[in-house]
Structure 1
Amino acid sequence: MPFSTLPPLLAEALAARGYAAPTPVQAAVLEPEAKGRDLIVSAQTGSGKTVAFGMAMAPDLLGEDGRVIPSREPHALIIAPTRELALQVSRELIWLYGPTGARIATCVGGMDASKERRQLSHGAHIVVGTPGRLRDHLERGALDLSALKAAVLDEADEMLDMGFRDDLEHILDASPNERRTLLFSATMPKPIVQLAKRYQKDALRISTVGEDRGHGDIAYQAVTVSPSEIEHAVINLLRFHEAETAMLFCATRDNVRHLHATLTERGFSAVALSGEHSQNERNAALQALRDRRARVCVATDVAARGIDLPTLTLVVHVELPRDAETLQHRSGRTGRAGKKGTAVLIVPYPRRRRVEMMLRGARINAEWIDAPTPEAIRAQDHERLLAALLAPVETDEEDVALAERLMAEKSPQEIAAALVHAHRASMPQPEELNDRSQGGDRDERQPARREGFDDIVWFRMDVGRNQNADPRWILPLICRRGHITKNEVGAIRIGPNETAFQVPRALAAKFQASVARTASEDDDVRFEVSEGPVQQGGRAPRGGPNRPAGGANRPTGGARGTHSAKPYVRKGPPRGPRA
């Protein structure tokens, strides 16, 4: 029996859950040399760590009869960085230790603290919680660690990154020195090593992390897109993969809110997870994903830590992770427990080199691909629909009766066509991406060719990056002053102190007249005809009469901007008199 070294009740619980053989990290903690010792375990997210430390602390919790040793004070304490992870750990330990008679208490922020205190007062053999809530119960006298035999720090690197070091040290200092300390971490930065030196004795180092930090069960892909088409790429990726469950990562709660609203409006069944949601809202969102009422989760890094969804097969990094560790933790939501998963990074063209360096440093071999086209998505839809309709299904008398009625009124071809149409109508439509989104190797400085812009006139404005020029207000200003639409404005080039833009020659005279007519003495920005875009020296050749003075001291450089230029802090045009 693979788990023959475990107490019989634990082995039976594992067999009932379908565990046929231990994972590498589980096998490592069951080795004779690990018994009774402090452990430092480096293991990937999704490698079976929870069951592993559940097995490892069995000698500290169970008596010779295989049942839990009676006690009112906890014998084991598990500390996790987030509420979701703590609740997940608690659920795992309940089925693992349930047959032994162990009582398990969960203490996390956002839940009823008084209810947790009552649960602790009634006695708990195992306590699972987050650092802040555990420290609060400890300081209030509700949590007594005097009899603690084993302390587990799950995802210890994340807890230190989140600023919980003081809380962890306060909790460990309140427990007996002779306790075992089991430290589980996906990475081993210096702060983790320092923590281990202080609170562990003769610790056994276990590592199941291979040289390929990218996780063997995760296929990494990178999609290069124009910054303005990131949302369109997200929609097409979701439609192309049609994953049972997908998780999209954003950097801020505002971006989570915006993307969630966009996807919901487009017809995707999506939920959001960020710091602005209450615990009840978070629980409801996760339950919707488990019940298949929702298939897409838009989340921030912190909100998604510790989430384990067995059906999650697609992770999309909508906004790039800040480092390789964040990439690893995000992507680790999929490819868990031997299942395959896909992690896709959406890479704006200007950031490709940075992403390549991050992937190289993380030893992750990612496939660089184009964003899925509507044609590729429709081809996938055809294959999925054929597979679904040709698969055997169970029918009842009512289904057969309805089918016979349809066959009497319509031909088989008409019925099949109606079925295909109904299926297509229920799916969100894919997005048409610009040619720029289909070829990341093209020189960013070359403008994309657009219909109607073969013959153009360049104009210039006497504001640039030094005056906080930004396409988000430059484009509306051009349209408002020149009485044209945004589709009638071509490429925009932003230099240090001026901005050049294209207008079709057929509209140039009308644009010039409108600019002159809408001018006023209070205008901060002046328009004039230019002979071309911003040059390497930072200035556009001018053909207009209003050449401003003082240009000799302007900085040089080859900086350029486009509609998709990196946004600046300033949200509007300059105000007040110009120098």
Structure 2
Amino acid sequence: MNIPAPLAAALAEKGYASLTAVQTAAIAPETTGRDLLVSAQTGSGKTVAFGLGMARDILGDSDKLSYAPQPLALAIAPTRELALQVARELEWLYGQAGAVIATCVGGMDYRTERRALERGAHIVVGTPGRLRDHIDRGSLDLTGLRVAVLDEADEMLDLGFREDLEYILNAAPEDRRTLLFSATVPSGIAALARDFQKDALRLVAGGEARQHVDISYQALSVTVRDRDNAIFNLLRFHEAQRAIIFCKTRANVNHLLARMGNRGFKVVALSGELSQAERSHALQALRDGRAQVCIATDVAARGIDLPGLELVIHADLPTNPETLLHRSGRTGRAGSKGVSALIVTPADYKKAQRILRAANVEAEWGKAPGADDVAARDDQRMFDDAILNAPAGEESGIAATLLDRFGADHLAAAFVRLWRSSRPTPEELSEVAAPRAPSEPRARSEFGASQWFRLSAGHVDRAEARWLLPKICDGGAITRDDIGAIRIRENDSFVQIAVAAAPRFGDTMELAPGLIMTRHEGDIPEGRGTPAPRPARKPAAPRRSEFTSARPPREDYAPRDQKPSAPRAAAPEAVEGAAPKTRIKARWSEADKAGRKDRADAPRYDPDAVRPYKARTGAKPAGKPGAKPPFKAAGKTFGAKGAKPAPRSARPGGFDRPKRGDY
């Protein structure tokens, strides 16, 4: 096999008797020096697979690595837990080769990571956001990179990391190898592969026709109010050593965490709001047995590997088939058996059936275990318990005393009560109608006589059937019933139009700017067509922090297409003899009219006129005109400015206000 000696020794020391399908495919002779697009089910050993696949790029012909000033390999993972897990796997795989592994993940000390990169690392493992930060700050130099690995690439696109991935890959050399590993290959992954891979070899390992053969899928129908109780009974029924419950939101995680903690379950939570230390402690509690159940969101539990995980419960239905497969892939790993149970309410029957069908998964529909089912399973476990079946030892003396004092029947009943009291009490569930069997998809009838047309857009133009269909219908004023197959190739596409509707398009029609539809005679060519030349890499866009915050001058903000405002019309001149318009009709006395006339003849206020300065002389009057004069009382003058009013007793006819104690 094409495995370097130090890696082969590490595999033998780890107990690898044989390799999995994806690991064998990654080191096949035809993969040497080529980019790879690999899809394999979760838990099939993808980490060791790409570790073996990039071995020759890192080691070359030697068996020992020397000092590397820049990283030779880069592995990108979507979450912190998965990145740390990948680093642990590569440490033992490349341990005997002397490789130095450095991690760059969010939530860890940035200065520690920078010092590790400065000392030199052969392989760097990290998350997209933190890797981009190190590149921006100059602590990560990818000029010597030989191979880049994108693990769980579909999840990174779902989390919105496409821009960061493009930034990182643009900073790497053109002649590097790019390995994309994913459980599924949706259209987004295919587009990413076309942009950043050269003549990639597509590998399908583990068989996509039958997903997760070691996992038993169950769809359990429950009422809405029994949703939480069904989860409790399911955990009690299986009594798995380790189980994981998936929720859609952090609020649902916290809700289940509180309810299960009150019922005595040993439970921990994983969500995005927790720090890296808290998440590490939760995972360690599951590994060492201090906790048995983990409640997590999809993002927090992405890629985590919990050995011995036997049960996966979907408290909230997954949003798509890929999420279902990734959730369920936490169990049934490395040949072990596992159970994946979906909690389905009546309103979600059709959604669950649609997701299972799209994931190519056959699930067993039924009801959640009730209280009687859990009690029966508990009784069977009690009979099979090793302590009950072990022979009597040193405790035979106290056992004889107990029998003499309480009797066999009373003692057996007490043992049953003690057995059941150490476990959470099962819940009673309401009856729910079984869902109807899913209807088979309707077969498409024969389209009939048709005419093929060629469209000038293909995969390189991001053309999709859902984008082309409305444009074709609008261009020819037809319905979708007049359209048959749509086949999209690399640089062009072909559409099948019914013969009756074909004349509406003529020989050539422009459906949209740059989208030309032309009549095609003869058979359409097979395959995807000739791949388009790889576009030149664009320079990386600057980060937000590199933009200046200074605003341009005021004149640069002149609004566009703003018409100048029309000059305000002058007020019409007063017509001699016309009565003046007044808003309020006031009644004036003869004296007021005379004073008003005098004021009207006075000159108006001129702001530019210079007025002589008038010095203030004399004292101000003691009070306002018409105010009462000040008066004297008790030797003081009151009523003047600055003086306090006289007490009521000092005023003419006044009296003293009684004190509080005189009431």
What TM-score range do you get, normalising by the shorter chain? 0.7 to 0.9
Mapped pair 1:312 → 2:309: yes
Q: Does structure 2 conserve the Cα–Cα contact (< 8 Å) formed by 1:105 and 1:120? A: yes
For residue 163 of structure 1, report the CA deviation from its aligned partner: 0.6
- Shift of the 12–419 alpha-carbon distance from structure 1 to 2, 3 Å rule, reads farther
Q: Does structure 1 conserve the Cα–Cα contact (< 8 Å) formed by 2:22 and 2:206? A: no
Amino acid at match of 2:430: N
Paired position in structure 1 for 2:287: 290
Matches within 5 A, 1:184-203: 184-203=181-200
Q: Which has the higher contact order (CA 8 A, sep 6+)?
A: 1
Superposed CA deviations along residues 307-361 of structure 1, whole A, max 9, x for unmatched, are: 1111111111101111111111111111111111111111001221221122122
For residue 12 of structure 1, report the CA deviation from its aligned partner: 1.6
Paired position in structure 2 for 1:422: 418
Identify which of 372, 377, 394 aligns with 1:401: 394
Percent sequence identity over aligned pairs: 57
Matches within 5 A, 1:446-457: none
Matches within 5 A, 1:108-119: 108-119=105-116
Paired with 1:358 and 1:409, the residues of 2 have a C-alpha distance of 58
Amino acid at match of 1:430: P
For residue 143 of structure 1, report the CA deviation from its aligned partner: 0.6
Q: Does structure 2 conserve the Cα–Cα contact (< 8 Å) formed by 1:247 and 1:296? A: yes
For residue 386 of structure 1, report the CA deviation from its aligned partner: 2.1
Identify which of 361, 365, 368 aligns with 2:358: 361
Superposed CA deviations along residues 466-519 of structure 1, whole A, max 9, x for unmatched, are: xxxxxxxxxxxxxxxxxxxxxxxxxxxxxxxxxxxxxxxxxxxxxxxxxxxxxx
- Shift of the 184–402 alpha-carbon distance from structure 1 to 2, 3 Å rule, reads same
Q: What's the TM-score, normalizing by structure 1?
A: 0.72
Matches within 5 A, 1:219-238: 219-238=216-235
For residue 302 of structure 1, report the CA deviation from its aligned partner: 0.6
For residue 439 of structure 1, report the CA deviation from its aligned partner: 4.4
Name the count of aligned residue pairs.
434
Two-structure CA RMSD over aligned residues (Å): 1.9
- Shift of the 39–403 alpha-carbon distance from structure 1 to 2, 3 Å rule, reads farther
Amino acid at match of 2:167: H
Q: Does structure 2 conserve the Cα–Cα contact (< 8 Å) formed by 1:61 and 1:69? A: no
| SS at structure 2 position matched to 1:166 | helix
Matches within 5 A, 1:148-167: 148-167=145-164
Paired position in structure 2 for 1:29: 26
Amino acid at match of 2:397: E
For residue 8 of structure 1, report the CA deviation from its aligned partner: 1.9
The structure where helix makes up a greater share of residues is: 1
For residue 211 of structure 1, report the CA deviation from its aligned partner: 4.1
Amino acid at match of 2:272: G
Matches within 5 A, 1:113-262: 113-212=110-209, 214-262=211-259
Q: Does structure 1 conserve the Cα–Cα contact (< 8 Å) formed by 2:321 and 2:358? A: yes
For residue 85 of structure 1, report the CA deviation from its aligned partner: 0.5
- Shift of the 383–56 alpha-carbon distance from structure 1 to 2, 3 Å rule, reads same
Paired position in structure 2 for 1:81: 78
For residue 51 of structure 1, report the CA deviation from its aligned partner: 0.4
Paired with 1:413 and 1:287, the residues of 2 have a C-alpha distance of 43
- Shift of the 391–25 alpha-carbon distance from structure 1 to 2, 3 Å rule, reads farther
Amino acid at match of 1:420: V
Unpaired segments ≥5 residues, structure 2: 438-663
Amino acid at match of 1:423: W
Q: Does structure 1 conserve the Cα–Cα contact (< 8 Å) formed by 2:73 and 2:145? A: yes
Paired with 2:189 and 2:383, the residues of 1 have a C-alpha distance of 52
Q: What's the TM-score, normalizing by structure 2?
A: 0.63
Identify which of 64, 68, 72 aligns with 1:67: 64
Paired with 2:221 and 2:74, the residues of 1 have a C-alpha distance of 45
Q: Does structure 1 conserve the Cα–Cα contact (< 8 Å) formed by 2:222 and 2:230? A: yes
Q: Does structure 2 conserve the Cα–Cα contact (< 8 Å) formed by 1:29 and 1:35? A: no
Paired with 1:401 and 1:335, the residues of 2 have a C-alpha distance of 41
282-291 vs 403-412, which moves further:
403-412
Larger of the two Rg values belongs to structure: 2
Mapped pair 1:370 → 2:363: no
For residue 420 of structure 1, report the CA deviation from its aligned partner: 3.4
Paired with 1:270 and 1:250, the residues of 2 have a C-alpha distance of 14
Mapped pair 1:380 → 2:373: no
Amino acid at match of 1:137: H
For residue 52 of structure 1, report the CA deviation from its aligned partner: 0.3
Amino acid at match of 2:419: H
Paired with 2:201 and 2:60, the residues of 1 have a C-alpha distance of 24
For residue 374 of structure 1, report the CA deviation from its aligned partner: 1.3
Q: Does structure 2 conserve the Cα–Cα contact (< 8 Å) formed by 1:225 and 1:440? A: no
Q: Does structure 1 conserve the Cα–Cα contact (< 8 Å) formed by 2:366 and 2:434? A: no
Paired position in structure 2 for 1:56: 53
For residue 95 of structure 1, report the CA deviation from its aligned partner: 1.1
Paired with 1:139 and 1:413, the residues of 2 have a C-alpha distance of 76
Paired position in structure 2 for 1:474: none
| SS at structure 2 position matched to 1:298 | strand
Paired with 2:261 and 2:241, the residues of 1 have a C-alpha distance of 17
